[in-house]
Chain A
Amino acid sequence: MNKTITIDGLSVPFQEGQTIMDAALAAGVYIPRLCHNPEFKPHGSCKLCTVKVNGRNVASCTMPAVEGQQVLNDTDELNADRLALTQMLFVEGNHLCPACEKSGNCQLQAVAYYLGMMSPHYNHFYPQREVDASHPDVILDRNRCIYCELCVRASRDADGKNVFGLSGRGIQSSLVVNSASGRLGDTSLAATDKAVQVCPTGAILQKGKGFTVPIGRRVFDHHTIKEIQTGGGHD
């Protein structure tokens, strides 16, 4: 007999060892997320997937599912917190969607639309961040990095290269690359690496390929991120 939890009153089965996020994904229940990608070990840093379990806020991507958990997910309170977190991500970096190649394919933008973000709300930090275009095939635009570390995990766990890492703490954090010069072009990164494909924003892009996908054919032009990440999903 399957073990189950409930998410917003819906009975959701899970296997031993799965997280709440794993169970939700398997059941087609959408929990907003940015740093979580089912292909990689959970990270629990963006906190967008925070749900309420028996009255406590927890990151659903790292919290193991336990028989009988009553999980609240799609509530006004949690979605308001998620909106605020998303707005903070926007103002901490330099996310200029109108001129970004990833617009329409960007998970940060799609989550913002899903949560009904109409403005950044908070004052922009306008940080000074570097663009590293030294690699022949890949461009690293730190202005758009949200420190999800998906590229770090992908390079380490899938590509076996350890090209990316985070340096510094808090607001001083920055995405660094593993070369003596500090330049992407001097690393072993290849354009075909998983680390290049996995960025949820426009921080890591194929070089020289701007705007080749026309408006109307981008991932989120016709589907919400909920539809894409659940394959149809529950309302």
Chain B
Amino acid sequence: MTFELETAANPEKLRRVVIEPVSRVEGHGKVTLLLDDDNRVHQARFHIVEFRGFEKFIQGRPYTEVPVLVQRLCGICPVSHHLGATKAMDMIVGAKLTPTAEKLRRLMHFGQILQSHALHFYYLASPDLLFGFDSDVAKRNIVGVAAAYPDIARQGVALRKYGQEIIRLTAGKRVHGTGAIPGGVNKNLSREERVFLRKDIGQIVAWSQAAVELIKRIYTGNPDFHNGFGYFKSSFMSLVRDDGALDLYHGGLRARDEHGQDIFDHVDYGHYWDYVHEEVRPWSYMKFPFIRSRGREEGWYRVGPLARVVNCDFIPTPLAEAERKTFKEFGGSSATQATLAYHWARMIEMLHAAEGIQELLLDNDLSGDDLVNAGTPALRGVGVIEAPRGTLIHHYRVNEDGLIVRANLIVSTTHNNQAMNEAVRQVALQYLDGQEVTEGLLNHIEVAIRAFDPCLSCATHAVGKMPLEVELVDAGGAVVSRLIKSPDGRCGI
């Protein structure tokens, strides 16, 4: 099953269908399908065609600069990279955060989850869910949603705006701020700012509840279709709190297999490499992580809202916890491995973020003045956070002068690389195999990708690690010579 359709046996005899660019996702990607004369699918791949290289070009920069620099990876989830990198730098400066610093960062992160989940659900995914996957392409967009469902569109815009306001007041700017610094934060939240944010939070919680109701109504309205679309089983990985609760900011790593059995639990992410490895493949700039104990073939997994909601023992806010229970119990837990259930889980998390913001805004620690700590410095720092799209790992080494000498970023979309390819292949087999290819059918593939809310801009950094194979072919199609570069950079003929 695994890796079926990744590589066709005789690609030269097949017809190539390309979806480029994949639309309504962040970044640039494409899907290639190889079909035979009867439109049978022989190969389906999801490619990331852009290259970012942050791991390389931050080498030689001071560690203090990194949390601000690396957030430029993304315009949608910069806070996640900002906080992931800052958590790593907390280790570099040996700091244990003050309550004020940790709560302000948590608030910033809730704002990020809220705005990013709202962006994805309302702007990117809702046109498919509200109009149908093969509906009129001219209306299948946010403008079409605004015309047909103005209240829903308005709520989506307002939810995102509120999340951005949280970020502005904690980080200084709505996008690419500077709030978190190694060992703490650079500002608190004034009482006036808290009063300003409290004014609308009741409405934000109510709209987040409405969003859960909306996706629940859509999903349960056609359960067999939604459960079965691009269906496959996999392991899940996420952070959980010490007591097993959902925790988006900090915790230990938990991985569970497709049967819900622990692969590892409460793992200190400071040694993530003992548990997760990365593989490179010649046809993609994005690496393929896998759980080490299960090997390359069986070790791939999913991260993100579905993984988190399924993996956690409970959600520590009441409304979201009630929705988690409903979700898990639905149809005898039939949605807990479904590709489209990502949307449902995502809205449960958005509700949790809204509740979390409401709770934090009552906490006077947010207005405290004890902002920064320091301790015994170290030369290595690892920061892990649950970004909107899933587990995000930032790993740095610095030299004695405090300059970065090595960086490894495993972003959420990279964790989901194999899973997204799997979803693409399942949908290709379910809906395209043997059919005349139409725009609507091809959009089914994009719908499967969108469920993961991938951020392709965040995901491609390795320089010189990607294996390449170059063939020189003569006019008759015969291979004249072949040059192969292995993952360790060595070349051979």
Contacts and interface: CB of A to CB of B under 8 A. Distances in A.
Interface of A: 98-101, 131, 133-134, 139, 141, 207-217
Contacts of B61: 99, 131
A99 B57 CA distance: 13
B402 A207 contact: yes
Contacts of B68: 98-99, 210-211
Main secondary structure of the interface of A (DSSP, over half): loop
Contacts of B176: 98
Nearest to A139: B62
A141 B401 CA distance: 13
Which 8 pairs across A and B sit closest by C-beta, in order of nearness?
A215-B172, A210-B64, A133-B401, A99-B69, A214-B187, A211-B178, A214-B186, A211-B181
A216 B64 contact: no
Nearest to B403: A133
A207 B60 CA distance: 14
A208 B182 CA distance: 9
B434 interface: no
A212 B72 contact: no
Contacts of B173: 215
A100 B66 CA distance: 10
A213 B181 CA distance: 10
B370 interface: no
Nearest to B177: A215
Given A131-B403, A208-B402, A214 B65 contact: no
B388 interface: no
Interface in B162-177: 171-173, 176-177
Given A214-B178, A215-B178, A131 B72 contact: no
Contacts of A212: 181, 186, 372
Interface centre among A134, A207, A208, A213 (most CB of B within 10 A): A208
A211 B179 CA distance: 8
Interface residues of B, number: 25
Nearest to A214: B187
Contacts of A131: 60-62, 403
Nearest to A184: B401
B186 A211 contact: yes
Contacts of A101: 64-65
Given A133-B62, A133-B402, A211-B67, 6 more contacts: A101-B64, A207-B402, A208-B64, A208-B182, A210-B62, A213-B186
A208 B95 CA distance: 13
B65 A99 contact: yes
Interface string B129-167: 000000000000000000000000000000000000000
A213 B179 CA distance: 9
Nearest to A210: B64
Contacts of A209: 64
A208 B64 CA distance: 6
22 contacts: A99-B61, A99-B68, A100-B65, A131-B60, A131-B61, A131-B403, A133-B401, A134-B401, A139-B62, A141-B62, A207-B402, A208-B64, A208-B402, A210-B64, A210-B65, A210-B181, A210-B182, A211-B64, A211-B186, A214-B178, A215-B173, A215-B177
Contacts of A133: 62, 401-403
Contacts of B403: 131, 133
B102 to A, nearest CB: 17
B397 to A, nearest CB: 15
A166 B371 CA distance: 40
A181 to B, nearest CB: 13
Interface string B68-80: 1100100000000
Contacts of A98: 68-69, 72, 176
B186 A207 contact: no
Contacts of B177: 215
Interface string B389-411: 00000000000011100000000
Interface centre among B69, B177, B179, B401 (most CB of A within 10 A): B401
A209 B93 CA distance: 11
A214 B179 contact: yes
A53 B32 CA distance: 67
Contact of A99 (B60, B72, B181, B182): B72
Contacts of A210: 62, 64-65, 68, 181-182
